[in-house]
Amino acid sequence: MPFSFNKTFDQRSGYRTQSILAVPLITSTNKTVGVMQIINPLDEDREPAAFSPQDRVVISYFAGNAAAAIERAMMTREIILRMIKMCELRDPMETGVHANRVGAYTAEVYHQWALNKGLADEEIKRTKDLLRIAAMLHDLGKVAISDLILKKPARLDPEEYRLMKSHTIHGARLFRHRESDLDALSAEIALNHHEKWDGTGYPGKIDDIYQDPPPLGAGKRGEEIPFAGRIVALADVYDALVSPRVYKEPWSEDTALAYVKDQAGKHFDPEVVDAFLAIFDVIVAIREKYQDEASLPSLVSSH
């Protein structure tokens, strides 16, 4: 490759790069997904030295592990996007763009909420990465709802609305065999994102979500609702308000904000509303950036 060493970084920092070992990150399908670069090894006297053949062997081993991790992340991304697309085929309102915006809103609101709570930076970063992906799957349970209900052009009758509410339970059931923290968080969000702070949401307190037919209980109230469900509740409602739907025009920014503020302590956790309002410029930027399928962000963490 026609590349040469760039001295700019050394000149700016006062650092001196004396040797570099660069190893490509190659997946099992022979695709190069990055490069691992190691600089300036030291000898036993802590003096600059050249890389040894043994160094190359060891670093190549770590490069293989890094490539495998990136490949797994890419596979996870594609599986999640396909799941969202499957949901979109069933429910025209559940688009990939909506799911991505809800995920991005949720991650940023959580970050501010966690800072307000004084949580450790490492915990915030790890949870934020998981939360963004899990929030995208909040309505996956709609695949279990009949088209006669999902695509009904008129208002749902009480029985149809009861069946629609069960999408929260069906979504959580999809993660019954939990293999990771992401699975657990995805189930938690799917089940709880329609609960309300004042206890009037659904599906409520349920002893066993695997009963048939899916049961509905008395609504969870306040901090009985897991924090992730409380954050996604606001992210989901806000995006629905400011987005066009077949049954309504998008609300103006001022009208949507007024509604969010009014629902603090009713539909929404007041602390979540505070975090949302504190970063509203970020929320607007996310909404403006991701307006069509071509703008969907990568799910592979940038950290």
Instruction: Pull the structure tokens for residue 4.
Output: 């040469």
Asked if 111 and 233 sit in the same domain, the reply is: yes
Asked if 57 and 162 sit in the same domain, the reply is: no
Query: Which tops the pLDDT comparison, 94 or 25?
Result: 25
Q: What are the contacts of 273-282 at 24+ separation with CB within 8 A?
A: 273/234, 274/116, 275/109, 275/110, 275/112, 275/113, 275/116, 276/109, 276/112, 276/234, 276/238, 278/112, 279/108, 279/109, 279/111, 279/112, 282/108
DSSP state of 145: S
Range of the domain at 63: 18-79
pLDDT in tens, 203-237: 999 999 999 888 899 999 999 999 999 999 999 99
pLDDT over 70 percentage in the chain:
93
As a whole number of angstroms, the distance between CA 88 and CA 32 comes to 32
**Amino acid identity for residue 192 in this structure:** N
- Does the residue 1 lie in any domain? no
- Does the residue 191 lie in any domain? yes
> What integer best gives the mean pLDDT of the chain?
90
Asked if 246 and 147 sit in the same domain, the reply is: yes
6-28: average pLDDT? 92
Counting Cα atoms < 13 Å in the Cβ hemisphere of 156 gives 15
Asked if 69 and 138 sit in the same domain, the reply is: no
The total of structural domains in the chain comes to 2
- Does the residue 251 lie in any domain? yes
Instruction: Pull the structure tokens for residue 37.
Output: 């670069």
- CB contact burial 146-160 (16+ within 10 A = b; e otherwise): eeebbeeeeeeeeeb
- Does the residue 2 lie in any domain? no
106-135: average pLDDT? 95
pLDDT of 247 reads 63
pLDDT in tens, 36-95: 999 999 998 998 899 999 999 999 999 999 999 999 988 888 888 888 888 877 776 666
- Does the residue 13 lie in any domain? no
How long is the chain? 303
Residue 22: which CATH number?
3.30.450.40
Residue with tokens 């206890």: 199
DSSP state of 20: E
241: closest CA among 218, 278, 268? 268
Split at pLDDT 50, 70, 90, the class of 152 is: confident
Asked if 69 and 171 sit in the same domain, the reply is: no
**Amino acid identity for residue 85 in this structure:** K
50, 79, 108: which is the final residue of a domain?
Answer: 79
Asked if 41 and 102 sit in the same domain, the reply is: no
Counting Cα atoms < 13 Å in the Cβ hemisphere of 199 gives 4
- Does the residue 22 lie in any domain? yes
Asked if 197 and 270 sit in the same domain, the reply is: yes
- Does the residue 303 lie in any domain? no
Residue 168: which CATH number?
1.10.3210.10
79, 110, 129: which is the final residue of a domain?
Answer: 79
Asked if 247 and 108 sit in the same domain, the reply is: yes
Asked if 45 and 96 sit in the same domain, the reply is: no
Asked if 74 and 207 sit in the same domain, the reply is: no
As a whole number of angstroms, the distance between CA 86 and CA 4 comes to 46
Q: Global pTM? A: 0.79
CB neighbour list of residue 186: distance below 8 Å, 6 or more residues apart: 133, 134, 137, 175
Asked if 143 and 198 sit in the same domain, the reply is: yes
Asked if 58 and 133 sit in the same domain, the reply is: no
